[in-house]
Chain A
Amino acid sequence: MTGHKQMKDMSISIEEIKKPENRIYGKPSLLTDNVMHYCPGCSHGTVHKLVAEVIEEMGIQDKTVGICPVGCSVFAYNYIDIDWQEAAHGRAPALATATKRLCPDKYVFTYQGDGDLASIGTAEIIHACGRGENIVVIFINNGIYGMTGGQMAPTTLIGMKTSTTPYGRDPKLNGFPLVIADMIAHLDGTAYITRQSVHTAPAARKAKNAIRKAFEYSQKGIGLSFVEIVSTCNSGWKLTPVDANKWMVENMFKKYPIGDIKDILK
């Protein structure tokens, strides 16, 4: 490239760049145009986008059934244009079991938060793992009940302040956090267990690959795939979105380290 041409190209204007043929990334078409009800900076929106991208790239829009939880993501069916069912609180794995057994050719996934999955739904998730159901579980772990006002969840860290533990979680009074992904890794019915986060672009890309792998494993008939996303709840944590991401890296990752926990095909 000659110096003259380089000079000419460097002067390309922003309007010239913003042409349809130069578009490289944007909102996936599976995401609806509804404005998400989540707080600014909430990880739920990013994970919704990753799920939509995976379903779009795999071309399985007509073959995917999502199970909504109770919690902040209760309205997930408003945002991704696939078939959904709404489960009672914590019962998403049970509903997913029925859906997958009745329609074995469908890709079935649940989308649950930590209040839903780790507290009221502990029995359902553990027994779904024990039975080795061929479903995908996407688990958003932010260590707090977001929707109801930031109360302590089973996954809340020791010393973490919530509206029901205003002086920090005290193990003598409140017990210790549950590390669900490590617990279910001991069960023979699970095929793939991983823990990811979406606070940076590389982390989000890895999380997307993990979600895609989980969807692929669910059609192999080898057991349950579990993708935990360590997330933030900046409203519940009383931090700005950027500070919440930093707090998550400094504190949450110590208890919930990122990486694959189990992969039976490796």
Chain B
Amino acid sequence: MAFKGAIEVDTQKCKGCSVCIANCPTGSIKLSDMVNSKGYHYAEMTGEGCIGCSNCAVVCPDSVITVYRVKI
């Protein structure tokens, strides 16, 4: 059984600390080239590798990540 996941980032609240990136086992998060209204490069999902493990959301200090997952 495999899982496929996706994350949604509250871009206005994200402070771009990158702790989620360091904790992602599949390298599916990167900092955006864009900035939010506070000037932070916010986190965003990249590629199709997300498995919905929630590690990024658990360590997110500002709780801006919502995780979705489906069985495939």
Contacts and interface: CB of A to CB of B under 8 A. Distances in A.
Interface of A: 6, 9-10, 12, 14, 16-19, 22-28, 31, 35-36, 38-46, 49, 198-201, 204-205, 240-242, 245
A28 B21 CA distance: 21
Contacts of A24: 52, 54, 67-69
A42 B59 CA distance: 10
Contact of B58 (A9, A12, A22, A25): A25
Contact of B57 (A22, A26, A35): A26
Nearest to A201: B55
Given A46-B61, A242-B18, A242-B21, 13 more contacts: A6-B72, A10-B72, A12-B72, A24-B52, A24-B54, A26-B57, A26-B63, A28-B63, A35-B62, A45-B63, A46-B60, A200-B23, A204-B58
A200 B59 contact: yes
Contacts of A39: 15
Contacts of B8: 18
B19 A17 contact: no
Contacts of A25: 54, 57-58, 65-67
B17 interface: yes
Interface of B: 4-6, 8, 13, 15-19, 21-23, 40, 45, 48, 52-70, 72
Nearest to A200: B23
13 contacts: A12-B72, A23-B67, A24-B67, A26-B57, A26-B65, A39-B15, A40-B61, A45-B60, A45-B62, A46-B61, A199-B19, A201-B55, A201-B58
A25 B17 CA distance: 20
Given A12-B4, A25-B54, A36 B61 contact: yes
Given A241-B19, A242-B19, A17 B6 contact: yes
A9 B68 contact: no
In the complex, the 7 A-B pairs of residues with the closest C-beta atoms, listed nearest first? A45-B61, A41-B17, A40-B15, A201-B55, A26-B66, A40-B17, A27-B63
Contacts of A28: 63
B58 A17 contact: no
Most-contacted residue by chain A among B13, B19, B48, B70 (CB, 10 A): B19
